[in-house]
Chain A
Amino acid sequence: MSRLEVNNLLEVNNLLEVNNLRVDLPVEAGTLHAVRGIDFHVERGEMLCLVGESGCGKSMTSLALMGLLPRKARLTADRLQFDGIDLTTLPERRRSDLRGARMSMIFQEPMTALNPAYTLGNQLCEGLIRHRGVSRREARDRALYLLERVGISAAKDRLEQYPHQLSGGLRQRVMIAMALMCEPDLIIADEPTTALDVTIQAQILRLLRELQQEFGTAVIFITHDLGVVARIADRVAVMYAGEMIESAPTPALYANPAHPYTRGLLSCIPAPGKTPPGSRLQAIPGVVPSLVGSVEGCAFRNRCPQAQPACERTPPLMSLPGDHRARCHYADRPVPAPLQPEMSS
């Protein structure tokens, strides 16, 4: 029995427990149900990847966890617990004691996340001084140590520099160092490598994975790139239209995707050696449904090649062997033979 399964049976010691999390946003046309009742957990020291397309609610989920939702947003949850602390009732003051200290965030665009008017040294040290009450000198030493760890040369000079003096890859390294300053238990990384070149992306991912394993930090890594997920995740959760439609350990998700949407996502990226060059790719027809107003039944049924009349009803979250869950009426049935992709004319 794997470590994951043991933890699951005992339900002990999960760093983060989320049950029935909902985020609603008032918009002109009514209420936008950005996150529609999701359940998940994060174990200590694991890398959980949240995958989904734009508008699926993955970024809203991360902002809800950090307590950084827009003011107008309404959050409800049956349970939202971080290391035993109930985040739904925590006063904002206590919340900001957690933020940066025990949970920190890496954003997609480091240029907008860093303050252009302060030196990197100032920004790196600020959190540690605020949360741990250490001296400026100690904070500076820690900043120097971490800048070296994230592979930045001439770290001493960098402390005096401003964000615009660095390249995109270096800025993202600084963001990672900053997220690690207070040795947090959880880092939420929202598409941290999407804006970077592929060679830089590979280096940053490798670094993040190494440090995460070394420091035993749990990471929620948000991305739309299934190639990245395959290479770094311990577990994967797939989101669609504000719901978590499938979660599984990484190898199981890629070997036996149980939800038709996950299968669709995996088959529409060209796979070298498998997809003949120039052949038609399998696309998911249609578009994501609007999340304004109420959504009835399975949100994917209008695009699903296997939809049945039963899909008008909201599917249950079905448990499959090996810590694998999928929100589909037919998740436990054998997968129908793959539809032959139409040949290019």
Chain B
Amino acid sequence: MKAQSTAEMVGSRPSSRISNASSTPETSQSPNPALELCGLSKSFTLGGGLFKRGRTLGAVNDVSLRIPRGQVMGLVGESGCGKSTLAKMLLGLTSPTEGDVLVDGEPLRGADQKALARHIQPIFQDPYSSLNPRKRIAQIVGLPLRVHGIGTAREQATRVAETLDVVGLPRRAAEQFPGQLSGGQRQRVAIARALIMRPDIVICDEPTSALDVSVQAQILNLLLDLKTEFGLTYLFISHDLAVVEHLVDRVAVMYLGRIVEEGSREQIFSAPRHPYTQALLDSALTPEPGLGVPDIGLGDAMPDPSNPPSGCAFHPRCPKAQAICQQTRPRLEEFRGGNARVACHLA
């Protein structure tokens, strides 16, 4: 029985997708977006004790997003804005307090961790801490196959070798330990581990920010190639706006747990509507000598998420804030025929 189901699993996800690059990616077959978040929220309780109620910290509040198949959604925002909590919920590492995650139209709530891992895989920021230093590369990359009981040991070894080829690692890397590889090579290992389950969606959490610039370009090229080759959908979390502009189709901007603006790359980068998006774009320092460092006119750092400001959470730092911004929280309104959204009274 077990052997049968294993064979079925291997059969149901044909390996042709890795060995035969020309097979058509599963685009435009399903009307559903690859990934959809509906009113996703996550709150934590801080402090508190036996007789004392703790404070509530809303890390992610009512986030709704649709990522069409084969597209790249960029997610930007400062540290503490909830990007990583959002990523953790998508990976099933923490469960949402409210809302649903839909993969290809199917809600993931109640779905077990294993089922989730077949669809969504992560690539983390730091390839130094995300790989077990005591395991060989072949073991690290092959672990998902063993966990899911896919194929025989021999088939698993073949799949590992194929995947190492796909990410541009030499075959001999299979027998090495992470400590013997450079940062760029380690990130390739992390990408191989994410791809070996042939996921539909990859969550890239700052995948190049721990790498040197010359290596960063290699990894970004690889991510773009893999996307085309396997028809992948990416959620690309980054603080590097030049990289985001290069890679993504759409961008969502988060501030203090909420999406404040979302739109196509062109719309966000050429006509941002939210003052926070504008400030983020201004503070991206492009390599153009003579321009100096702009005065972006933002006040102090992020406010305390456990005690968010009234009204629009951005108003204490906003150079354009009016009286209404202190009183009422702006709703995320659609514009451009529903193709873009912004939450600002003044936009």
Contacts and interface: CB of A to CB of B under 8 A. Distances in A.
Interface residues of B, number: 47
Contacts of A198: 78, 239, 241, 280, 283-284
A270 B243 contact: yes
A169 B213 contact: no
Contact of A202 (B182, B212, B245, B285): B285
Contacts of A271: 242, 286-287
A202 B241 CA distance: 13
Nearest to B245: A272
A276 to B, nearest CB: 9
Contacts of A228: 285
Nearest to B214: A284
A269 B242 contact: yes
B7 interface: no
B287 A53 contact: no
A167 B317 CA distance: 15
A226 B220 CA distance: 18
B347 interface: no
Contacts of A206: 293-295
A232 interface: yes
B242 A227 contact: yes
A132 interface: no
Given A199-B280, A226-B287, A344 B213 contact: no
B301 A200 contact: yes
Contacts of A153: 300
Nearest to A209: B293
Given A53-B212, A168-B301, A266-B287, A281 B282 contact: no
B265 A268 contact: no
B89 interface: no
Contacts of A167: 300-302
Contacts of A265: 213-214
A229 interface: yes
- Of the listed residues B184, B288, B295, the one surrounded by the most CB atoms of chain A closer than 10 A to its CB is B288
Nearest to A229: B287
A215 B292 CA distance: 18
B216 A268 contact: yes
Given A206-B295, A280-B224, A287-B182, A268 B289 contact: no
Nearest to A208: B293
Contact of A197 (B79, B215, B300): B79
B289 A278 contact: no
A230 B216 contact: no
Contacts of A53: 212-215
A250 to B, nearest CB: 5
Contacts of A202: 282-283, 285, 293-294, 296
A282 B217 contact: yes
B214 A277 contact: no
Interface string A186-229: 00000000000111111101100100000000000000111111
Interface in A272-313: 272, 275, 277-278, 280-285, 287
B218 A283 contact: yes
Q: Which of B221, B239, B292, B302 has the most CB of A within 10 A?
A: B221
A286 B214 CA distance: 9
A230 B217 contact: no
B228 A231 contact: no
A27 B212 CA distance: 24
Contacts of A201: 283, 285
B213 A269 contact: yes
A54 B302 CA distance: 30
A264 interface: yes
Contacts of A231: 285, 288-289, 291-293
Contacts of A266: 287
B303 to A, nearest CB: 10
Nearest to B291: A231
A114 interface: no
Contacts of B239: 197-198
A170 interface: yes
Contact of B245 (A199, A277, A345): A277
A281 B228 contact: no
Contacts of A251: 289-290
B21 to A, nearest CB: 9
Given A198-B280, A205-B293, A254-B289, A345 B225 contact: yes
Contacts of A205: 285, 293
Nearest to A202: B283
B295 to A, nearest CB: 6
A205 B215 CA distance: 25
A203 B296 contact: yes
A288 B228 CA distance: 30
9 contacts: A168-B301, A201-B285, A205-B285, A205-B293, A226-B287, A233-B289, A268-B217, A269-B216, A345-B228
Interface of B: 78-79, 182-184, 212-218, 220-221, 224-225, 228, 239, 241-243, 245-247, 265, 269, 279-280, 282-296, 298, 300-302
List 3 A-B pairs, minimum CB-CB distance, nearest first.
Answer: A270-B246, A202-B283, A268-B217
